[in-house]
Amino acid sequence: MREHDARRRDRLPLSGVLVADFGRVLAAPYATMLLADLGADVIKVEHPEGGDDTRAWGPPYAHGEATYYLSVNRNKRSLALDLRDLDGRRRAAELVRRADVLFENFRPGTMAKYGLDHARARELNPRLVYCSVTGFGAGEGAALPGYDLLIQAVGGLMSVTGPRAGEPVKTGVAVVDVLTGLHAAVGVLAALRHRDATGEGQHVQVDLLSCLLSSMVNQAAAHTLAGQVPGILGNRHPSIAPYEVFRAKDRPFVLAVGNDRQFAALCQGLQAPDLAADPRFTTNADRVAHVDELARRIGALLAERTASAWFDLLAPLGVPCGPVNDLAQAFELAERLGLGPRATLTGPDGEPMDVVANPIGLSATPPRHDRRPPRLGEHTDDLTAWLDA
């Protein structure tokens, strides 16, 4: 490592925090990558045969590895350990003894089989922050498998997602895993704050179902507070209008009008004073009540121009709107806005490797993007020598 890089890493907010990462697939690895970006030394513990399941989740592939694996494992070191082996368990226990944080997302009971459950880990290291990620918790749901699609189904997300009633659709990414990873990272940071104040570690527990229910925010609150059971509205919003996808002359176009002022600006841009004057559309509540007629009239107007033309006209008026981009167009937009959505690492053969940049902006200690995702067991020799010393 260059001396400059070493000095920069020492200045990161989580420098000096050692994370023993027994997680795999997505939720836990995403959380530990966020911590690694912020300076934590994350040691990814993997089985010597195959390693993390996502190493085989392709196509697509890049730099000889599945892009799924590459997406959530930068800035880590890989330690290949067979926990069924006595030496593997001994080294794992020593890693736990030295670590500040442990992540695991095995089914409840698996870590206990290897002598690495929270009770045993606390004996080894009372200062340890131990994070368990499960699908349905460690109680009655302990035996249930925690796959993202399954959680989206039984957790209610698919019941409000889809083109129309009776046609539930999953999201285009494993969003429950990502949301759970974010909740896990926040929980760990809170526990580290407590540990630094008291000297005591604790057990952080997050499960996919609970994280999804929390993340459904207004839809969940409609049920808990008002007794409603929301259903599928397609691309519409249950409480705001116009807030949906329309068809411009050439491609889909979104309006996300959140208040009466924005609706007045929309009517101005559409050159539709009759729309603004219609008592059925005066307030947001009125527009929600008459959303079908509102959508019909707006849709007829938007069909007259291209999505780009409408964006150029309406956006300067303060109307939240935009075309439905594919990912290439989305990255192009972020780059045009100066958001820096990409970061370039050095690949395994010295070639550049583009990754998605960490989105957190810190003025004094910005996240790092300086270590490519490790090959399976790449750092085993150095780490086992350190653990055996």
- Annotated domain spans of the chain: 3-215+363-388, 243-335
Global confidence as pTM: 0.91
Residue 350: predicted pLDDT = 82
DSSP assignment letter at 279 = G
DSSP assignment letter at 290 = T
Sequence-distant (6+) residues with CB within 8 A of 174 are: 26, 148, 149
Domain 3-215+363-388 indexed as CATH 1.10.10.10 = no
Pair 270, 294: CB distance under 8 Å: no
Q: Which residues are catalytic?
A: 177
* Distances in whole angstroms, Cα of residue 201 to Cα of each of 94, 127, 134, 306: 17, 4, 20, 57
Q: Which H or E run contains 101?
A: strand 101-104
DSSP assignment letter at 358 = P
Backbone angles phi, psi at 324, to 5 degrees: -85, 105
Distance CA 80, CA 51 (A): 8
Under CATH, which architecture does the 243-335 domain have? 2-Layer Sandwich (3.30)
Residue 1: predicted pLDDT = 39
Flag residues of the chain having pLDDT under 50.
1-4
Residue 11: predicted pLDDT = 84
Peptide bond into 352 cis (omega under 30): no
Residue 2: predicted pLDDT = 42
Pair 106, 22: CB distance under 8 Å: yes
